[in-house]
Chains A and B, each alone.
Chain A
Amino acid sequence: MNTLKGLLLKDLYVFKNFKSNIIFSVFMFIFLITMASLRMDIFTAGSILFLIFFGMNSISSFSYDENADSDKYLLSLPITRKEIVFTKYLFVFLNSFISLLIGIIISFIITLLIRGKINNIADSLRVCLIAFTSVSFLMCSNLPCIYKWGVEKGRMQSVIIPAIFIFILGIFGGLLLMFFPELYQDIDLLYLFKISPFICVILNILFYLISYLISFKIYLKKSI
């Protein structure tokens, strides 16, 4: 457990390097949300923006490790490959989750202070969770590429592979619509939206689990 804490701490230290940038960005974000809230309710958009802006910063910890060739050193300490991969996934998840949480809290307070109320808060939170799942999808398709090719060399693959997944899903959905149009007529979108938190949780677990297993397999075979 201590090892995991140590590895998480190591990744957290990366943020130290752009501490002032983060503080500045948060204040800018608060300012923009405040300005926008004067005209409309942007509780959902604000939360999602915060998630997108800060939730994907965890990739930089891979860059720092890569530049210092840290994995070689870490593996010579009493640390296993499994612990290294697991902690990275935990870090990526926590970073996205906490970013969303902070985004929601900031947007909630600002919207409440300026507009006095938040419309359809449950629906807004559902949309936030769908956005979180989309970010998880992107991150989880990126991470095995990083483990396979590294942050720099895997940059192109990190874009192409999620795009391929989305393309395949689109084709699949299109074919379904073409050959089984009645399927879409039967789908109750409102019901789907209502149960979306449950679907999102399942999808997040699946994304992280599958991605972790692929990354771990890649990392296990890798010569450091």
Chain B
Amino acid sequence: MEYNLEVAELEKKYSNFHLKHINIKLPKGKIIGLVGENGSGKTTTIKSILNLIKYDKGNIKIFGKNTNNLTKIDREKIGVVLDDSFFAPILNVNDINKLMKKFYHNWNEKYYFEKVKKFNIPTNKPLKEFSSGMKMKIKVLCALAHEPKLLILDEPTNGLDPIFRYEIVDLFADFVSNKENSILMTTHITSDLEHLVDEVIFILQGNIILDIAKNKIDNEYGIIEILPENISKIKKEDYLKCLKYKNIYYILVDSRLEFQKKYPKLEIRKPTLEEIMLILVKGE
């Protein structure tokens, strides 16, 4: 299998935070979602991949090359959206087009302005007058309009209204449909990943706590809602974690089939990514 991105044993230590044993293998044509609460290490991982910070240990390869050895041509094949960083707010959509044309050989002006028109983004207003959602739309367009092969997206759906989130998720799905392109995206809005990602990596306090194929979640994982008086009937070894919320216990299991065999009377359903994240982070 060919990989567009490989992260092996990445480690970065700060005085109050330690990111460790981060392993990511992103094959061509796939989308991986990096999920975790704020401050869990998602952005540190992205910054390490983009060489914005010096990591302490590990190895990161993009298109099979160590990130330190990437040429400009290689870097032109990477599209990036960063949640908290962009051009100065005095620039407008036309200015950004002029700049990006200088930075990328493959800058597709036609695609850029087509999408600008489609998403009703004003061309002469400075970015400072944009809503956060509008700003994010431009960031996403900038990441896509130079025909990259790998997208690295840090919270790309932050601040977006549901309609544009739907449109953008569709853009991403279309982007990987050629089986050559890949996406690594971080988010805490897990609902965006439900119908998009092939693999989900849950990260907590700098550690990967679960790295799983999305279809495995869909086909095997299960959640059971149970009242407090019945919780003692379930053995601890039969479930992964359990969370009490509004006087109901939510039990996460990694095999619906096996659990159903042992407890045929209990109703079991497919969990959402948000439920998994919550139970993994807050559960016992």
Contact = CB atoms under 8 A, between A and B. Distances in A.
A9 to B, nearest CB: 6
Given A3-B103, A73-B82, A78-B72, A13 B51 contact: no
A14 B76 contact: no
A70 interface: yes
A214 B44 CA distance: 27
Contacts of B102: 2-3, 5-6, 9
Interface in B38-91: 47, 50-54, 72-73, 75-76, 78, 80, 82, 84-91
A122 B76 CA distance: 50
Contacts of B152: 76
A5 B99 CA distance: 9
A2 B103 CA distance: 7
Q: How large is the interface on B (under 10, 10 to 19, 20 to 34, 35 or more residues)?
A: 20 to 34
B13 interface: no
Q: Tell which of B78, B89, B98, B99 has the most Cβ of chain A within 10 Å.
A: B99
B77 to A, nearest CB: 9
Given A9-B102, A10-B99, A224-B53, A77 B80 contact: yes
B51 A75 contact: yes
Q: How large is the interface on A (under 10, 10 to 19, 20 to 34, 35 or more residues)?
A: 20 to 34
B89 A68 contact: yes
A220 B57 CA distance: 19
B50 A76 contact: yes
Contacts of B86: 68-70, 73
Interface of B: 47, 50-54, 72-73, 75-76, 78, 80, 82, 84-91, 95, 98-104, 152
Interface of A: 2-3, 5-6, 9-10, 13-14, 16-17, 64-65, 67-73, 75-79, 223-224
